[in-house]
Amino acid sequence: MQEHSSIVKGDDFQNLLGMGFSEIEAAQLVHMKEHVTEQVEYREILQESRRLDFVRWLIEHKRIKD
């Protein structure tokens, strides 16, 4: 893993340490969090979720009928 000196100062990293994770585990989790949006499946799921939220909003505001 790359050097994580910039991560050490982050709130997420400090919170994970406070929860009992080791420095290596915390650094890996922060790294994963920062890079999860690069994954195609994640973007597709997020896009679908936003569509469903919009349809839900349309129904709740009586813009379309269910």
pLDDT tens string 51-60: 999 999 999 9
Q: What is the pLDDT of residue 63?
A: 94
pLDDT tens string 10-38: 999 999 999 999 999 999 999 988 888 78
Looking at the domain assignment, is residue 34 inside a domain? Answer: yes
Q: What is the pLDDT of residue 29?
A: 94
User: Mind spelling out the 3-state secondary structure of the chain?
Assistant: CCCCHHHHCCHHHHHHHHCCCCHHHHHHHHHHHHHHHHCHHHHHHHHHHHHHHHHHHHHHCCCCCC
Looking at the domain assignment, is residue 56 inside a domain? Answer: yes
Looking at the domain assignment, is residue 66 inside a domain? Answer: no
Looking at the domain assignment, is residue 65 inside a domain? Answer: no
Please report which confidence band the pLDDT of residue 42 belongs to, taking 50, 70 and 90 as the band edges: confident
**Does residue 9 surpass a pLDDT of 80?**
no
Q: What is the domain extent for residue 36?
A: 5-60
Rounded CA-CA distance 53/2 in Å is 37
Q: What is the pLDDT of residue 1?
A: 47
**How many domains is the chain partitioned into structurally?**
1
Looking at the domain assignment, is residue 30 inside a domain? Answer: yes
